[in-house]
Amino acid sequence: MHKTYKTKGTCSSEINFDVKDNKLYNVKFTGGCNGNLKAISSLVNGQYINQVINKLKGITCNNKNTSCGD
């Protein structure tokens, strides 16, 4: 199932991804730091959604309360 998440408070404006068997695939960010977001996409590909949430939740960026990974 393809999904789009509109972000708030981050440099990227949205995240597109597919979910199959509770795992993330084809994660693509719009906007933000291209190199870092490609790395995040690669690292989370094929991972269970809950594992990704637990690893990335609460990561901040500079003085913001969130980050593209969070």
What confidence tier does 68 reach under pLDDT thresholds 50, 70, 90? Answer: low
Residue 11's pLDDT is 84
Among all chains, which residue has been given the structure tokens 């994660």?
27
Would you say the C-alpha torsion 65, 66, 67, 70 has a positive or negative sign? positive
Is the CB of residue 59 less than 8 Å from the CB of residue 69? yes
What's this model's pTM, rounded to 2 decimal places? 0.81
- List pLDDT tens digits, range 6-45: 988 888 899 999 999 999 999 999 998 888 899 999 999 9
